[in-house]
Amino acid sequence: MMRKYLGAAAVLAGSLLCGAVMAQTYRAEYRLSTVLNTAFTWGQAGERWAELVKEKTQGRINIKLYPGASLVGGDQTREFTAIRQGVIDLAVGSTINWSPQIKELNLFSLPFLMPDYKAIDALTQGDVGKDLFTVLEKREVVPLAWGENGFREMSNSKRPIASPADMKGLKFRVVGSPLYNETFTALGANPTQMSWADAQPALASGAVDGQENPLSVFVAAKLPTVGQKHLTLWHYVADPLIFVVNKQVWESWTPADRDAVRQAALQAGRENVEKARKGIAGKDNAILKQIEAAGVTVTEPTAAQREAFVKATRPVYDKWAKTIGADLVKKAEAAIAKR
């Protein structure tokens, strides 16, 4: 009886100790960063991840969404550094915005590397995606799943664009990455880097003529209302999203809860990709019809016309392939060729 009593007491003491540790370790709330809010599929992905985590951990982990890169004053290129520093606990982040700190993520911004959605999947769901997760793991973050913001298409307020010559002299808002500056400069345009928060007022005032973003963003941001009446479907780069957790935060959770957070990220990522492609991919062109109904002229370059864009940007591609890593780029090209 005494042995049973002591055994039960030990179990109880262990449970109390575990509870005390949990009480000290688990915060009342964790901060999740996204660049876009819940009017966009990107923000919805963050919201969905938070919902699933709460559900799968029975409320032990509560996450609050901070959209608009608000935890870094709206400067989306500082987001990854803030995750490493612990200012941000979790994020659904863009490979573009994190590429200034993680050079390998520039892979997805190589002009005209990925011709279709199968090409994106060949990278994110294959060995290349695993290699990139390994790179991130060395930077004090834990990558869990891939999402998607989509192929970035080009719009402007001046004229239809079907060739690099049509871009000459036009001012385009681009994200804060040198690769985008060089790509648009090679095409004869005048690129201007600015945050998304500053982009819409700049488009409305005419300070810039055009921009490049996925169609889901074009619609949700109501860009035709700020003069974007000409859209070119050129699929020049894509913008995968990555679900990550700060490493110290991750290690503060129990293995069971880590698995729950991972499974929540994988589910939210799958749902996000499906949403990002709805109305755009394959034979589903509902979003395109919606854009045309708003009075937008849509130009889809022929194969020959697209090749002119490819040729003009090839020197940029070759230069940045060295920066990203020749072996990684070759592996990506091979994966796409086999898709």
User: What pLDDT, on the 0 to 100 scale, is given for residue 283?
Assistant: 85
Q: Check if the beta carbon of residue 147 is closer than 8 Å to that of residue 273.
A: yes
Q: Is the dihedral of CA 197, 73, 240, 278 positive or negative?
A: negative
pLDDT digits over 229-270, tens only?
A: 999 999 999 999 999 999 999 999 999 999 999 999 999 999
The closest of 21, 34, 26 to 241, measured between CA atoms, is 34
Least confident of 12-21, 95-104, 294-303: 12-21
Domain of residue 332 covers 28-337
Q: What rounded mean pLDDT belongs to the chain?
A: 93
The residues, ordered by sequence, that sit 6+ positions from 226 with a Cβ below 8 Å of its Cβ are: 200, 203, 204
CB 291 within 8 A of CB 225: no
pTM value is 0.90
Query: At 105, which CATH number?
Result: 3.40.190.170
Indicate whether 23 belongs to any domain. Answer: no
Q: Report the relative pairing of strands 141-156 and 210-213 from DSSP bridges.
A: antiparallel
Segment 57-73, tens digit of pLDDT: 999 999 999 999 999 99
Q: Does any domain span residue 19?
A: no
Cα angle value 149/217/307 (rounded, 5°): 70
In a domain, 307, yes or no: yes
Q: Is the pLDDT of residue 225 over 60?
A: yes
Q: Kindly state whether residue 177 falls inside one of the protein's structural domains.
A: yes
Q: How many domains does the chain have?
A: 1
> How far is residue 79's CA from residue 42's CA, in Å, rounded to a whole number?
15
